[in-house]
Amino acid sequence: MSFETILALEDGRYFRGRGAGARAEASGEVVFNTGLTGYQEIFTDPSYSGQIVVLTYPHIGNYGTNAEDSESTQPYIEGLVVREFSQVASNWRSDERADDFLAKRGIPIIAEIDTRALVRHIREQGSLRGVISSRESDPRKLVERARRIPKMAGQDLATGVSTAQAYSWSDGVEPCPPAGTPAPETPGKYHVAAYDFGIKRNILRRLAAFGARVTVVPAGTSAADVLALKPDGVFVSNGPGDPQPLRGPTAEIRKLVGRTPIFGICLGLQVLGQALGGKTYKLKFGHHGCNHPVLNTLTNKVEITSQNHGFALDPDSLDAAEIELTHVNLNDRTVEGFRSRKDPLFCVQYHPEAAPGPHDSRYLFAEFRGLMERA
């Protein structure tokens, strides 16, 4: 049963719709995701902490949710905005309706609004702070609340979603891997220490698929403690928020450069870029979706990629004698990947584990394995 709900933005614009999920009020930066499917993975991606997500695909919830498709132990989106939310879940894998899945975790949904108009507004104005509420009927009050929300720039959200204690992971080899997936090695052949800034389960599965035993460590783990694990390589994960406040983790990861192979993705690229002297900046409305074209400048091939970030690395801030840019976004020419010219280190701005998304970039895990073998 739906109920009246309002989405109010900091610039004064608001939308009235019908509510689902939790009868609650939630706030955050409003961003849009252009993926056609994979909504449960989006709900549970820790990189969405602090954000209300608008899904541009018009019909959401029709295949329900299941225990296998969650990318973490809980949803991390603050709220959800859709054109139409299905009250029917029809799929053999479904064990819970999507609105029930979010309602149990206190996350509100607003549906039956013009999401095309909302997305166009965000594209023109940039990402905006907003509030979803089924409790307050006066949109002017909600607009004022939206204006009091902390801006995303300057927020350290990664530390808040990181694991509190280190843990091991060795499961997740797919029973029927896609064609072209590297053959799995002997389980436990490699030991990878993975910094958790908001790591997703499918990243861990992909590392395990080539024989890695993974030790996931908190965001604040020192370089000395990581080296004490005697890893064959270090992985630096995706995560939410602004990379600039992560000065402590950046300083520790800087100490690892040259001492062990390093592979970073998403926020991990930004942290590694900062560790090598680069600077980051906030994008107008970010990259969120599983259909972003990226040119690999080393192979001259285009990859369709899964992305979720609101900040980018300034290429002019990098030392070209030390760093080689390897990937570029074909929509806006932003940096999508680089590698060190002298140390075993490379990273990409997107999510090569692709959950959800295409498998074009899974070769990067094989490249990481190659770095560890040569080291």
Residue 14 sits in a domain of what CATH number?
3.50.30.20
In single-letter form, the type of residue at position 279 comes to K
Same domain, 57 and 112: yes
pTM flag (> 0.85):
yes
Same domain, 54 and 172: no
Looking at 97, 125, 147, the residue that finishes a domain is 147
Is residue 47 pLDDT above 50, yes or no?
yes
Q: Identify the residue whose tokens are 């680069």.
A: 278
pLDDT for 305 equals 97
Q: What is the CATH number of the domain that holds 197?
A: 3.40.50.880
Same domain, 28 and 143: yes
Q: Is residue 176 annotated as part of the catalytic site, yes or no?
A: no
Is residue 189 pLDDT above 80, yes or no?
yes
138-153 pLDDT, tens digit each: 999 999 999 999 999 9
Same domain, 258 and 295: yes
Same domain, 166 and 142: no
**C-alpha span between 344 and 340 (Å, rounded):** 7
Same domain, 142 and 11: yes
Residue ranges making up the domain that contains 110: 3-147
Q: Facing residues of 7 across strands?
A: 15, 132
CB of 2 closer than 8 Å to CB of 88: no
Same domain, 167 and 22: no
**Mean pLDDT, rounded, of the chain:** 94
Same domain, 29 and 163: no
Which position among 288, 292, 309, 351 bears the catalytic label?
351
Q: Is 27 helix (H, G, I), strand (E, B) or coil?
A: strand
Looking at 147, 166, 200, the residue that finishes a domain is 147
In a domain, 176, yes or no: yes
pLDDT exceeding 70 applies to what percent of the chain?
A: 95
CA dist list (Å): 148 to 141, 169, 210, 325: 11, 40, 47, 39
Same domain, 142 and 172: no
Which position among 29, 41, 78, 353 bears the catalytic label?
353
CB of 51 closer than 8 Å to CB of 29: yes
In a domain, 153, yes or no: no
Same domain, 134 and 213: no
In a domain, 152, yes or no: no
pLDDT for 177 equals 45
167-184 pLDDT, tens digit each: 999 875 553 344 445 455
pLDDT for 304 equals 97
Determine the straight-line distance between the first and last CA of the chain, rounded to whole angstroms.
Answer: 59
Q: Is residue 347 annotated as part of the catalytic site, yes or no?
A: no
pLDDT for 179 equals 44
pLDDT for 154 equals 95
Looking at 108, 123, 147, the residue that finishes a domain is 147
pLDDT for 186 equals 64
CA dist list (Å): 122 to 21, 26, 115, 127: 24, 19, 10, 6
Q: Structural domain tally of the chain?
A: 2
pLDDT for 257 equals 98
Across residues 222-248, what is the average pLDDT?
98
Same domain, 255 and 330: yes
Cis before residue 356, ω within 30 degrees of 0? yes
In a domain, 212, yes or no: yes
pLDDT for 171 equals 78
Same domain, 59 and 83: yes
Which position among 78, 266, 287, 303 bears the catalytic label?
266
Longest dimension (CA), the chain: 63
CB proximity list for 234: less than 8 A, separation 6 or greater:
192, 193, 194, 195, 226, 253, 256, 260, 261, 262, 263
